Amino acid sequence: MSAHPYGMRPSNGYETPTDEVVPVTMRAAVTKASVCLVILTLLALPALGMSGGPAALNGNDEATVKYGCSCHNNGATSERVVVMITGVPVMYDADVSYPLTIKVADSLTLAGEDGNTKAGFLLSSEGVGTFSWSNDQELRQAEDAPDDVSHSEPDADGIWDLTWTSPAEDVGQVNFWLVGNSVDGGGIPDEMDYWNILSFSISPPGTIASGDDAATLETRTISVGDYDTLFLIEESEAQKEAERQAALALSIYQQGNALYWTSLVALLVGAVFQKEILERRYGDGPEYLAMELAYPQAMRRGLLSIASFVVGVRWLSSDTAISFPPASIVHEGTRITDLTGFLTGCAFFLSAWAAYGVYRTILASRVEREVKDIL
């Protein structure tokens, strides 16, 4: 057994680590700790994407709700993001609750294209009034700003319902700021995430008289973003019902017109068939028509029949509507009637009527000439 470097062994029977072993063990521990720290940092990156709602201050120490985000889309606003809030009153009354709906969406997604599918927001009234919401809404008090409200989780449909209750007394005009963020769900704020911001105000009690236009007393929708999709997001039940009633009225009008003209044509055709049947039963028919008159008459009627038929086919196959008055000479908002179907039907009816005239001309030319005694 070799002697211990210091002439004795420790009482526990194990050798004490030498000065060379201690640094190696410490370096290994530090390396493991560093690796764990890196892994934890990577796992925490999604949380850095503000998935639980944006911070009160952005990277420039400015109010996020007023100046926007400094991390998404390199800190620049984007019209690609549609931010909308509905139910906003023009004027508030003291201690009254107003239901609000917030909508944040990527305009590309709204248009059916490949866009971002998750969204969040931050709303502030500068502490005037209070916000409340039901438990089924993914909302929370904003970080470091308990009077404001934000999303608690990025939402797939980007719609949140909440209530703003006005202050108990007149405090003057109330200003609001709303910032919305449309993200790709990657968990890291980058140039593929976009945001937009809007601000609005509500007038204090008594600023709008009851005698003013009733429309000014109603709630309103305020929005910002891509113009083509702003009005595709929110449509009230009254608007949907009005569109349904208008479509129903148009359908009834068109069906009524079709039934009227179809019945009229059926009566005329029926009268013609009745006339033909009676003539054959009683040996009657058209009066004699000389050949020198029959040929020109048949030619005129034949050409009219062919021309009317060609015109009818062209109108039927054309994508251009025949309207009255013509759209090119009327002012915007003038009611225009589409006459395409009516005129096309008239063209085919005239063609058939002229063709029947040719048939009658032929019958008249074949009738034996009778000399009538005029004495």
Over range 220-225, report the average pLDDT. Answer: 86
Tell me the residue range of the domain where 276 lies: 235-281
Q: Is residue 4 part of a domain?
A: no
Confidence of residue 14 (pLDDT cuts 50, 70, 90): very low
Whether 209 and 70 share a structural domain: yes
The secondary structure of residue 275, as a DSSP letter, is H
Peptide bond before residue 204 is cis, with ω within 30 degrees of 0: no
Nearest residue to 297 via CA among 347, 364, 367: 364
- Reduced to 3 states, what is the DSSP secondary structure of residue 186? coil
Q: Is the domain of 313 the same as that of 341? A: yes
- Do 130 and 245 have their domain in common? no
pLDDT single digits (tens) 187-200:
666 667 888 889 99
- 227 shares a domain with 143: yes
Strands (E), the chain: 81-88, 97-106, 118-124, 130-132, 139-142, 145-151, 159-165, 174-183, 194-202, 220-224, 323-324, 337-338
**158 and 299: one domain?**
no
Residue 13's pLDDT is 46
**Is the pLDDT reported for residue 27 higher than 80?**
no
- pLDDT tens-digit series, residues 49-78: 445 566 767 667 777 778 776 565 555 777
Q: Which of 28-42, 190-204, 248-262, 350-364 has the lowest mean pLDDT?
A: 28-42
Is residue 107 very low, low, confident or very high in pLDDT (cuts 50, 70, 90)? confident
- Residue 68, both tokens: 């926007």
Task: Give the per-residue pLDDT at 347.
Answer: 93
pLDDT bracket for residue 130 (50, 70, 90): very high
Average pLDDT, the chain: 79
In whole angstroms, what is the distance from residue 194 CA to residue 76 CA? Answer: 8
253 & 300 share domain: no
Q: Over the Cα atoms of the chain, what is R_g?
A: 42
> Tens digit of pLDDT for each residue in 281-330?
888 888 888 889 999 999 999 999 999 999 999 998 887 888 888 767 77
Predicted pLDDT at 339: 85
pLDDT band at 349 (very low <50, low <70, confident <90, very high): very high
| Boundary (domain end) residue, out of 248, 281, 314 | 281
What region, left, alpha or beta, does residue 53 occupy, with left being phi > 0 and alpha being psi -120 to 50 degrees? Answer: left
pTM comes to 0.47
| Same-domain status, 104 and 243 | no
Read off the pLDDT band of 234 (50, 70, 90): low
Give start and end residues of each alpha helix (H) in 70-183: 107-110
Within this chain, do residues 250 and 228 fall inside the same structural domain, yes or no?
A: no
Residue 1 in any domain: the answer is: no
CATH assignment of the domain containing 120? 2.60.40.680
Query: What burial class does residue 222 get, using C-beta atoms within 10 Å of its C-beta: 0-12 exposed, 13-18 middle, 19+ buried?
Result: middle
* DSSP sequence for 276-310: HHHHHHTT--PPP--HHHHHHHHHHHHHHHHHHHH
What pLDDT score does 106 carry? 87
pLDDT, residue 63, reads 77
Q: Is there a single domain that holds both residue 76 and residue 182?
A: yes
Q: How many domains does the chain have?
A: 3
For residue 13, tell me if it sits in a domain.
Answer: no
In the chain, % of residues over pLDDT 70: 73
